[in-house]
Amino acid sequence: MQIVLVYPSNKNKMTKRFIYSLLFIFLANTSLATHNMAGDITYKYIGTLTNPYRYQITVKTYTKWIIGSSNTDRCTIVVYFGDGDSATAPRVNGPSFDCPTADGVVIGGCSGNVKKNIYETIHDYPGNGLYTISMEDPNRSAGICNIPSSENTSFSLEAELTINPFFGNNSGPVFNQVPILCDTIGIIGYYNPLAVDSDGDSLFYEFITPLANGGFVSSYTLPYANNTFTIDTGTVTWNTPAAICQYIFDIRITEWRNIAGTYYSIGKTIQEVSSIVTPYLGVLDIYSQNTSVTIFPNPSNGLINLTIENGLTNQQYQITICNSIGQIVKTIDITTNSSLIVESELAPGIYFYSLSNKYLLLNKGKFVILNASVK
């Protein structure tokens, strides 16, 4: 097996930094203020015979909404396509008084005041090349413990797109998990972005320093842990939060495409995640920490028995099952201390599951389906 790295071009980096500087000066003198907590940027190939290099770019941001305030979010954002061109992307979710044609939607979060904002735009690229798609906004939410003066630090997202006929068309992975976490002091926390790649490419996950002002955030550190803060096959394990505060971390996903036994790096994208660590709340946290999934038999010929153990009485949970390349193949709703027999239609292979309640990823693991399957 051979692995080939494809590196992005640095073209337009200096131009972008200059544009960002002008943008910050302009927005700092307007009445608008954002409180960015998290987000991600993705691309999807939608080319046609007449427009063979057309892509849809989607940016999601999660902002802190201050009750009673106005103009705290953007009706539009500027997306830079990496080919010297840019466009104003409108918000496409939810109308409101402040932004009649498109506005964010309140989704709750730990403190009940997080808004989700979705922006979309379409771009026709000039041809083959390596392109860095990006967006930048003047400030993050205040008080982030692992970013000094976070309210004065810009919020930025990037994705790298490779257009090359040898690789074929490519759509980046899509994030299916809301990147707003509610963790607890002294309790192990888990997070998985549940990224799905429609092309079936292999995904590699790693931490990356957050971006700001056309570069990396200075003086950034990973969230403070009593033991370790790690990422493995997409799942972040925080063992354990060491201080009560808000933290952020960025996950970069690299797509690897297998062509005739050689793996090529064909694209990258970033999700920024926000975690609010709260005090220990007693019995609720004890149950959350010990809640687990039993799968029997494992390995299985297709018929599996799922049981949720050590959870709160009548608590509703969800089990998400992904295949070996990160695609979600099944979701199951199940109640605490109940058993569910599943006649699986899964193909033979290794599968990964995650257990969550309404707010938290609680546990994870894997199981194996052998040659025979039950349908």
Model confidence over 310-336: pLDDT tens digits? 666 666 778 888 776 667 788 888 776
Question: Do 178 and 154 share a structural domain?
Answer: yes
Statement to judge: residues 179 and 57 lie in one domain: yes
Domain region containing 188: 2-278
State what percent of residues in the chain have pLDDT above 90. Answer: 43
Q: Does the pLDDT value for residue 98 go beyond 70? A: no
241 lies in the same domain as 331: no
Query: What are 110's two structure tokens?
Result: 């730990």
Residue 374 lies in a domain: no
Say whether pLDDT at 181 is over 70: yes
Confidence band for 249, pLDDT divided at 50, 70 and 90: very high
Q: How confident is the model at residue 207 (pLDDT cuts 50, 70, 90)?
A: very high
Whole-angstrom distance, CA of residue 123 vs CA of residue 134: 13
- In the chain, the N- to C-terminal Cα span, in Å, equals 35
Residue 135 within any structural domain of the chain: yes
Say yes or no: 168 and 289 in one domain.
no
Residues 291 and 341 in one domain: yes
Residue 9 inside a domain? The answer is yes
Residue 62 within any structural domain of the chain: yes
Give kind and range of the element (H or E) at residue 235.
Answer: strand 235-241
What letter represents residue 178's amino acid? Answer: V
- The answer, yes or no, to whether residue 116 has pLDDT greater than 80, is yes
Looking at every residue in the chain, the average pLDDT score rounds to 80
234 and 181: one domain?
yes
Q: What is the pLDDT of residue 214?
A: 82
Q: Out of 278, 303, 322, pick the residue that ends a domain.
A: 278
What pLDDT, on the 0 to 100 scale, is given for residue 228?
Answer: 96
Q: Are residues 29 and 98 in the same domain?
A: yes
Same domain, 189 and 106: yes
- Whether 44 maps to a domain, the answer reads yes
Residue 356 has pLDDT above 80, yes or no: no
Mean predicted confidence (pLDDT) in 103-125: 81
pLDDT at 22: 43
Number of domains in the chain: 2
pLDDT of residue 113: 74
- Of the two residues 152 and 131, the one the predictor is more confident about is 131
Tell me which of 278, 300, 315 is where a domain ends.
278
For the segment 42-80, what is each residue's pLDDT rounded down to a tens digit?
Answer: 999 999 999 999 999 999 999 887 655 555 678 889 999
Give the whole-angstrom CA distance, residue 212 versus residue 221: 14
Q: What percent of the chain shows pLDDT beyond 70?
A: 74
Q: Are residues 204 and 317 in the same domain?
A: no
The arithmetic mean of pLDDT across residues 20-36, rounded, is: 47
Q: ∠ CA 205-277-268 to the nearest 5 degrees?
A: 20
Q: Nearest CA to 57 among 96, 34, 83?
A: 83
Mean pLDDT of the region 4-33: 42
Confidence class for position 20, pLDDT limits 50, 70, 90:
very low
User: What pLDDT is attached to residue 283?
Assistant: 45
375 in any annotated domain: no
Comparing C-alpha atoms, which of 62, 88, 56, 57 is closest to residue 75?
88
> Residue 304's pLDDT band (boundaries 50, 70, 90)?
confident
pLDDT in tens, 361-374: 677 777 888 765 43
Which sign, positive or negative, has the C-alpha torsion 147, 150, 153, 156? positive
Identify whether 323 is part of a domain: yes
Rounded Cα distance between 138 and 287, Å, is 40
Nearest to 316 by CA among 295, 344, 352, 291: 291
Q: Looking at the structure, do residues 163 and 69 belong to the same domain, yes or no?
A: yes
Strands 262-278 and 2-4: parallel
Residue that terminates a domain, selected from 278, 298, 316: 278
pLDDT score of 340 more than 80: no
pLDDT at 31 over 50: no
Residues 363 and 251 in one domain: no
Sign for the pseudo-dihedral over CA of 181, 182, 184, 190: negative
Kindly provide the residue ranges of all beta strands, DSSP E only, lying in 7-113, ordered along the sequence. Answer: 36-45, 54-64, 76-80, 86-90, 105-108
- Residues with Cβ within 8 Å of residue 32, at least 6 apart in sequence: 71, 72, 74
pLDDT at residue 21, rounded to an integer: 42
Contact at 8 Å (CB) between 205 and 234? Answer: yes
Confidence band (pLDDT; 50, 70, 90) for 8? very low
> Does residue 161 contact residue 172 with C-beta atoms inside 8 Å?
yes
Residues 118 and 236 in one domain: yes
Grade residue 3 by pLDDT with cuts at 50, 70 and 90: very low
CATH number at residue 330: 2.60.40.3080
